[in-house]
Structure 1
Amino acid sequence: MKFKGFVFLAFSAVFLSGCMTGKENQKLTVAGVDNPVISLNGVWKFSIDPPEKFWQKGLDTSDWADIKVPGECQMQGFPIKADTPFAYRQSFEVPEDFSGKKISLDFHGVYSYARVWVNGEFLREHFGGFTKWSCDITDLAEPGQTAELAVEVVDRSDDISGASDYAKHNIGGILRDVELSAVPVQHFEKLHIETELDEKYKDAQLKINYSLSRSEPSDVLFRLLDDHGQVIKKEKLAEAQKQGTVLMDIQSPRKWNSESPYLYTLSAEIVEGGRVLYRCPEKVGFREVEVRGEKLYVNGDEVRLRGANRHDLHPELGRCATAKYDKLDALLAKQANMNFIRTSHYPPTERFLDYCDRYGIYVEDESAICFQYKGTSQNKDKFTSRYLSQLREMVNNHRNHPSVIIWSVGNESTYGKNFQKSYDWIKANDKTRPVMFSFPNTVPDKKKVYDILSLHYPKWHGNDKVQGFPIKDFDRSGMPVIYDEWAHVACYCTDSLRVEPNIRAFWERSLDKMYANLLKSGSGAGGAIWGMIDETFFLPEGLPGRGEIWDNQGKNGSTEARGPAIGYGGWGIVDPWRRKKPEFWRTKKAYSPVKILEKQVDEFTSGEQLKLKVHNRFNHTSLSEVAAEWQYMGKSGFAFSDIDAGEEGLLSLPALNWQGGTELSVKFFKDRRLLDRYNIRIGEQGSKLPAIKEDGKITLQRSSSQTRARGENFELVLDKEDGLIKDLKIGGELVIKSGPHLNIKIFEKLGWNSPIKALAGKKWEVESSSCSVKKGVFLADIKGSAGKISAEFKFRINAAGVAEIECKATGLPEGKHIKEAGFKFITADAEKVSWDREGYFTAYPENDLSPQKGSADLSYAPEMKYRKKPEHLWVYDTQDFFYFGTDKRFPLSRLARGLKENIYRYSVFYEGGGRLDVLSDANLGCRYKREAGKDTLIINSIWDYPDLQWGNYAKFIKTKSSFSAKAVIELKQDL
């Protein structure tokens, strides 16, 4: 199945194409008109309860409120309700040089039903909130005069996008740009541009099908220009008829793909007497999409899509699209090594697609239909026009973009005749792209409504039955499969998210394993993370009437928001302000197009070249176009290889004095953009655990209530009442107040939100406690219980302050999923923690939640204000307005609170120079907790996040009747 490169443009009395939107770097020219496209964005007048005949000309709106356009109403403090009309008014000047032109009002997105009046005259209605539509106001707007615009909007509960229900509040309003535009009476009414490549994908034919707005013949000129403005080809039609076709043979054009997004410009012009009356420049990418058997191809190259699902989201204006965030989101996608965006669950702005064209991002463009299950709209005649009208608007607006390689007729809905009509319409009007539909399992046999199989939430290993389709190693025979929702970012597991944030770092295993396993499959064409941006709407506090139709509390699978910030929560790799979360770097790593396949090189010879195993995971690019910058023991340089796209090979580094126990840094760059970074170990690194030397002097002082032990570098008390270690000091400074205490948390069951239960939360009851000194080592044996859990602790510490703690617990309920298990100490207030750990990946940025080596200042807890952009990085947040509400503020930042996995050393620093180090061979996880004036050091030998669910990776460790843990602690006095 072959889908030709295709560019499309269509507009009529009520529709103006993409070339007329004032696209960045594309200037529309209309003779005699200074600015043919004028933005009407800004402050409008608004009434939540408009008077009768509010559209009348001359109506006094002085008592109406001000509102920003574009932007949601509720996000600006107006408690609109479903199915209840509200109104906008705005006046605008019609430029004098619009005289003699066709004048239009262009609405890029009004949710979800709108009616429009100009100067008191009704123009039209429109269903659907996420597509561009226009009103011809030529006969109503007098150039040089002021025109009055009235727009009535209804947030309809029966809208087929379900977008308000989905957003957990009424999103109604003018959500996208509004523009005033002028074109000559004779203009291009339709402009279709196909780029067909030959069998060798070398030469191309540019096919232009045009239609003029009037039947009078006009001179038409088409010019194809390269990115320097040089004319490659041109064709002039003297006295062109109303409709026609132009063919241009282009020798060896540069191809457009996500890795080399080269764009030409087609200038379509209407000329009279050598004077250009009208010029519409369109970007052209020579690219061809094909489905052949079980694979997806672009320009003859098999492609694997690595992407995310993106929603429009403005942190202050809600489900709103702006130029700032359209551009930023495209740039963030490229920074995260994505080559694919699914525009869930509605079409994006054309401006966003402009950036996808420019930066190189493949797009699945989805019609605004979501969650239409059996018995809703998919088989009802009264909804057919809504399905088809917004589908036509999506396709006709966007098919000129090379970035759009797939159409989607809707999300997670039951098949019906309206979906069939949607598919049939696309196939009749655009044969250049494949079509997708979810849920495909609802499509009857012998019905065809998709060309690529869309499946949601496979398991990380790719062996599963997904929506009724058996999948083996991500393969499904018959056609390509795109898992356009996978690797769901932590969101619904609210208890885990409230305990500590490391679940966001742990998620890295899921996406990395999914994508690596998919690359081994035959038919797996790619996947898209759910999702890219946090689904959090910062509604004004105290918004009246909130939740009368849709409410985030307890409905549709409660996400348990605890305040005015509602939605689905933190399911993005960036937050609403576009601050990078831990998932961002992990996406960049998992989706890396250049993968070093080893963490440690054991076979090397000093003075000879070092060879690294590398997988080129690009679709179209040889590694000869990628620079590898290396650094080793004070030296640096660049290495290159010529590994072809999709192949594995060797990257050779210079003959250096390679030594065991060292580290090599390698960074990969393409077009000066950092693709990936690796820190590769050279040779064995050796254990970092100190021995507990049996020497030195320890004295014991016993009384009826306690035993006090003193060594060269410590002193402690063994309390006879509860049998615990108390008042552990380093050089006279208190560091541990009491412990060890059991720390065992489980999930009673896994579900939408999996509640966490502490098994050892009851008061500790001592059974026996004894101590002695043998060969310069203090020994304590403590036995007791906490509720039904019995435990024994063995504590050993030598005179130098090196201690070993062993724990064994029994009486655990069997078969429960473990959240974390280990023990903890109540500590004195500390100043800082630091860590050295084994990362899942070999390199993390310094400002990550858990880099291999890092530290956290326990006194740094920046203040945050609701609905105000934080000036600090995400890891330093002390509040989460969605999961905790506006009142809860942590005394520690996320960086300080987060569990650090697989530690070699976890250090706690105290004001007087005391330091406590937890040491392991990367088999322990540590975190620090400060709550209600109590500091706690938690040392876990087991930790897991099975509540990630959605096919994500977890260890799925279950409780047995007993559990044991062991740790080494070293006490130091830093001078």
Structure 2
Amino acid sequence: MEFDRRTALSISTVGAATAGLSALGVSSAGEASAALAGPATETMLLTGCDADHTVDWDFQVTAGRRAGEWSRIPTPSNWECHGFGSYHYGGDLVPAEKGNYRHRFTPPASWAGRRIFLVFEAAMTDAEVRVNGVSAGPVHQGGFYRFRYDVTALLRLGEPNLLEATVSKESADNSVNDAERRGDFWNFGGLFRPVSLQAFPAARIDRVALDARADGTFTAHVTLAGVTAAGRVVAQLRRLDGTAVGGPFSVAVASGATGATLTTTASQPALWTAETPNLHQVELTLASATGVPLHSVVERFGFRTVEVRAGDGVYVNGKRIVLKGANRHTFWPTSGRASSPRLARLDIGLMKDMNMNAVRMSHYPPDAFFLDLCDELGLYVLDELTGWQRRYDEGVGAPLVKALVERDVNHPSILFWDNGNEGGWNTALDDDFGQCDPQRRAVLHPWTTFSGVDTSHYQTYNSTASKAAGGTVFLPTEFLHGLYDGGAGAGLNDYWKLMGGSQRSAGGFLWALVDESVVRDDRGGVLDTNGSRAPDGILGPYREKEGSFFTIKDIWSPVQLANPSYYDSVFPASFDKTVKLVNRYDFTNLRTCRFGWQLLAFPAPGAGPGHRILAQGQAEAPDVAPGATGALALGLPA
């Protein structure tokens, strides 16, 4: 999606998921709208859609580089990455910085009669917003969360309007600073995720929370607004190609209704797992009593069931799974926390290339498009409320939990919610997650035991052996620290022999995915890791593959040779040209894989590098169920 940086992009959208679908190339907003019975939500982007596609706004920073100078800055972005303000790591306090933004825009005159919201996907960290000189609402606090203002009465439709935002790098709330700004990572400032206007019909579907289970039962909890007369909410399930799944179903709503619940059952739906990321969508239409459609949305979802079986393991769709993952910050050396679907797809591709099936969102919720891609490409997700050894107070934290869950609730990739990290949880917020999540996903406290899951960090080999053999589900949300263990792959083979096969081990997450180095334009463009403090990852800052990449790829391969002697022994003369394999997939039979072989001739020691391929071919994939052992006949020449 390309457009002129100097102009805003106006698109029509349907529901919260559509912008992500468009970015993924699943379907355009226009195509989705054409399939709906009623008017859609219309969206006008005021910034660019991501860090790769930006729109320039007027900008001034109050301290640090270029302080006091009105200039132009691409949005979305972090201002430090464009020559403004100061670089700031964790608890290293700097003089307070604020960024003043100005942007002029003209909303369509055709929006008359609609309810219009100004939506910020995130701002770092406190945001004070004005439209045409009038406050849009209370100052938002919390740097990684979507927030919005009803600006219907403040806009001049069909005419130029002025949007102003003052973004404070440090929060006026000390608990926000404790949870977000004092952690062990780089701190940035700015409008680093998109800003848009969303225009809803007066009577509208405000949001949707779905619960789609592996047995085909489907429930949609629909939040309504502006309903002034009796009507109905009508729904239709579909595959992504538009094929209907069952027939339409509906429920009546009374005048003044603020919610509706719809249920149905799909017959043997294709299930979602990280190995089989089968997705569906639901079309929802609010209609009048006479059947006139008033508002329609589309939400994408997957049929799947997640369970924590006490003293047993983590199950998806009734099958025990083992998570093999890494901790990921949203980070790029030249753009900070501002990202794009291109960068998200790069990271997910590299994780899957290492045979990972999971990712922990350390230590804040990611961009929505990252979760869209996890749904589409197949990664299990731990989605996390910010809090690094310090916590949000309940007053400021409760709205952030609500914002987190309401935005992310329909992603089938999300298995758990994390309430902070390493003591950065407020137990008063634990039950808030379930208030917005009809799936009632378990809430974890990373580095301790909660919800029946022991997530303790950086256990020794001996303590890992004890925990893997214990009576509690063991899922370390951080282990084998990439810096202190000399590389994330170092020791993994030994640890994985304990963790990969234990009945109560649910896997684990390596720390961390990438080296987090900032390009410092005040130091001639050097890559700065703040000494040894910034995360040292499996991948370099620009995703260079380090040695651990190949180690992890091998150890976490879901297809393993059953006999270790295959790796280091000379085959006997009686070798029958077959090898035994272990299938460590959770849901995939090896008959769906492809196998190839090569016979290689290596030179004698000291004769130089290289080898010759003497012969090569394909082997017929054996029928080996998940978790089973089978034989692969190679069909080698005589």
Q: TM-score range by the shorter chain?
A: 0.7 to 0.9
Cα shift at 1:572: 1.8
Give 1:824-973 correspondences, 5 Å limit. none
Larger Rg: 1
Q: CA–CA distance in 2 between the matches of 1:614 and 1:453?
A: 31
Q: CA–CA distance in 2 between the matches of 1:104 and 1:34?
A: 11
Q: What is residue 96 of structure 1 aligned with on the other side?
A: 109
Q: CA–CA distance in 1 between the matches of 2:573 and 2:44?
A: 67
- Match of 1:331, SS? helix
**CA spacing shift, 1:594–1:93, aligned 2, 3 Å:** same
**CA spacing shift, 1:37–1:234, aligned 2, 3 Å:** farther
Give 1:814-825 correspondences, 5 Å limit. none
Of residues 144-153 and 565-574 in structure 1, the stretch that sits farther from structure 2 once superposed is 565-574
Q: What is residue 455 of structure 2 aligned with on the other side?
A: 454
2:433 aligned partner, one-letter code: I
Q: What is residue 283 of structure 2 aligned with on the other side?
A: 267
1:18 aligned partner, one-letter code: A
For each residue in 1:460-486, what CA deviation from the matched residue of structure 2 results, as whole angstroms up to 9, or x when unmatched?
A: x4x22xxxxxx4354163431111111
Q: CA–CA distance in 1 between the matches of 2:216 and 2:540?
A: 43
Cα shift at 1:576: 2.6
- Correspondence for 1:623 among 580, 584, 590: 590
Q: CA–CA distance in 2 between the matches of 1:76 and 1:111?
A: 15
Cα shift at 1:428: 4.5
For each residue in 1:175-195, what CA deviation from the matched residue of structure 2 results, as whole angstroms up to 9, or x when unmatched?
A: 212122212111112422212
Q: What is residue 586 of structure 1 aligned with on the other side?
A: 551
Q: What is residue 388 of structure 1 aligned with on the other side?
A: 398
Is contact 2:453–2:473 with CA below 8 Å preserved after alignment? Answer: yes
Is contact 1:609–1:654 with CA below 8 Å preserved after alignment? Answer: no
**CA spacing shift, 1:327–1:147, aligned 2, 3 Å:** farther
- Correspondence for 1:577 among 535, 539, 542: 542
Q: What is residue 74 of structure 2 aligned with on the other side?
A: 68
Q: CA–CA distance in 1 between the matches of 2:333 and 2:97?
A: 25
**CA spacing shift, 1:604–1:640, aligned 2, 3 Å:** farther
- Match of 2:72, SS? strand
Is contact 2:589–2:624 with CA below 8 Å preserved after alignment? Answer: yes
Give 1:550-699 correspondences, 5 Å limit. 566=530, 568-569=533-534, 571-597=536-562, 598-600=566-568, 602-605=570-573, 609-632=576-599, 633-654=614-635, 656-657=637-638
Cα shift at 1:282: 1.1
Q: What is residue 431 of structure 2 aligned with on the other side?
A: 424
Q: What is residue 531 of structure 1 aligned with on the other side?
A: 512
Is contact 2:39–2:295 with CA below 8 Å preserved after alignment? Answer: no
Cα shift at 1:271: 4.1
Q: What is residue 267 of structure 2 aligned with on the other side?
A: 251
Q: What is residue 364 of structure 1 aligned with on the other side?
A: 382
For each residue in 1:698-719, what CA deviation from the matched residue of structure 2 results, as whole angstroms up to 9, or x when unmatched?
A: xxxxxxxxxxxxxxxxxxxxxx
In structure 1, the gaps of 5 or more residues are 1-15, 51-61, 198-202, 442-448, 465-470, 494-502, 544-560, 658-975
Is contact 2:45–2:194 with CA below 8 Å preserved after alignment? Answer: no
Q: Is 1:207–2:205 an aligned residue pair? A: no
- Match of 2:136, SS? strand
For each residue in 1:756-811, what CA deviation from the matched residue of structure 2 results, as whole angstroms up to 9, or x when unmatched?
A: xxxxxxxxxxxxxxxxxxxxxxxxxxxxxxxxxxxxxxxxxxxxxxxxxxxxxxxx
Cα shift at 1:429: 4.3
Q: CA–CA distance in 2 between the matches of 1:119 and 1:22?
A: 30
- Correspondence for 1:403 among 413, 420, 423: 413
For each residue in 1:117-140, what CA deviation from the matched residue of structure 2 results, as whole angstroms up to 9, or x when unmatched?
A: 111110121111111111111111
Q: CA–CA distance in 1 between the matches of 2:40 and 2:270?
A: 35
TM-score, normalised to structure 2, is 0.83
Give 1:47-196 correspondences, 5 Å limit. 47-49=60-62, 64-80=70-86, 81=94, 83-124=96-137, 125-156=139-170, 158=174, 159-160=176-177, 162-166=179-183, 170-196=187-213
2:224 aligned partner, one-letter code: L
Is contact 1:609–1:653 with CA below 8 Å preserved after alignment? Answer: no
Cα shift at 1:116: 0.8
For each residue in 1:271-311, what CA deviation from the matched residue of structure 2 results, as whole angstroms up to 9, or x when unmatched?
A: 46766543311112110001112211000110100000000
Cα shift at 1:325: 1.3
For each residue in 1:242-269, what CA deviation from the matched residue of structure 2 results, as whole angstroms up to 9, or x when unmatched?
A: 3332221211111100000000111112
- Correspondence for 1:487 among 473, 477, 480: 480
Is contact 1:111–1:155 with CA below 8 Å preserved after alignment? Answer: yes
For each residue in 1:887-918, what CA deviation from the matched residue of structure 2 results, as whole angstroms up to 9, or x when unmatched?
A: xxxxxxxxxxxxxxxxxxxxxxxxxxxxxxxx
Cα shift at 1:84: 3.9
Matched residue count:
571
1:384 aligned partner, one-letter code: E
For each residue in 1:113-166, what CA deviation from the matched residue of structure 2 results, as whole angstroms up to 9, or x when unmatched?
A: 111111111012111111111111111112211221111111226325644443
- Match of 1:368, SS? strand
Q: What is residue 445 of structure 2 aligned with on the other side?
A: 437
Q: What is residue 89 of structure 2 aligned with on the other side?
A: none
2:268 aligned partner, one-letter code: S
- Match of 2:455, SS? strand
Q: CA–CA distance in 1 between the matches of 2:272 and 2:469?
A: 29
Is the strand fraction higher in 1 or 2?
1
1:326 aligned partner, one-letter code: A
Is contact 2:489–2:549 with CA below 8 Å preserved after alignment? Answer: no
Q: CA–CA distance in 2 between the matches of 1:518 and 1:537?
A: 34
Q: CA–CA distance in 2 between the matches of 1:647 and 1:160?
A: 50
Is contact 1:18–1:350 with CA below 8 Å preserved after alignment? Answer: no
- Correspondence for 1:339 among 326, 351, 357: 357
Q: What is residue 512 of structure 1 aligned with on the other side?
A: 493
In structure 2, the gaps of 5 or more residues are 1-13, 49-54, 87-93, 600-613
For each residue in 1:629-655, what CA deviation from the matched residue of structure 2 results, as whole angstroms up to 9, or x when unmatched?
A: 222331312231122212233222225
Q: CA–CA distance in 1 between the matches of 2:397 and 2:469?
A: 30
Q: CA–CA distance in 1 between the matches of 2:351 and 2:118?
A: 32
- Correspondence for 1:284 among 282, 301, 305: 301
Q: CA–CA distance in 2 between the matches of 1:562 and 1:231?
A: 55
Provide the aligned C-alpha RMSD in A: 2.9
**CA spacing shift, 1:107–1:82, aligned 2, 3 Å:** farther
Is contact 2:285–2:295 with CA below 8 Å preserved after alignment? Answer: yes
1:154 aligned partner, one-letter code: S
For each residue in 1:374-410, what CA deviation from the matched residue of structure 2 results, as whole angstroms up to 9, or x when unmatched?
A: xxx56xxxx2122211111111111100000011001
Q: CA–CA distance in 1 between the matches of 2:370 and 2:280?
A: 18
Q: What is residue 477 of structure 1 aligned with on the other side?
A: 470
Q: What is residue 304 of structure 1 aligned with on the other side?
A: 322
Q: Percent identity?
A: 26
- Match of 1:656, SS? coil
**CA spacing shift, 1:440–1:629, aligned 2, 3 Å:** same
Q: CA–CA distance in 2 between the matches of 1:480 and 1:577?
A: 35
- Correspondence for 2:234 among 221, 224, 231: 221
For each residue in 1:555-606, what CA deviation from the matched residue of structure 2 results, as whole angstroms up to 9, or x when unmatched?
A: xxxxxx9975547346122223223333222222221111124314545456
Q: What is residue 369 of structure 2 aligned with on the other side?
A: 351
Q: CA–CA distance in 2 between the matches of 1:438 and 1:403?
A: 19
Q: CA–CA distance in 1 between the matches of 2:291 and 2:351?
A: 44
For each residue in 1:201-222, what CA deviation from the matched residue of structure 2 results, as whole angstroms up to 9, or x when unmatched?
A: xx42111222321232234321
1 or 2 for the larger relative contact order (CA 8 Å, sep ≥6)? Answer: 2
Q: CA–CA distance in 2 between the matches of 1:33 and 1:97?
A: 13
TM-score, normalised to structure 1, is 0.55
Cα shift at 1:346: 0.5
Cα shift at 1:91: 1.3
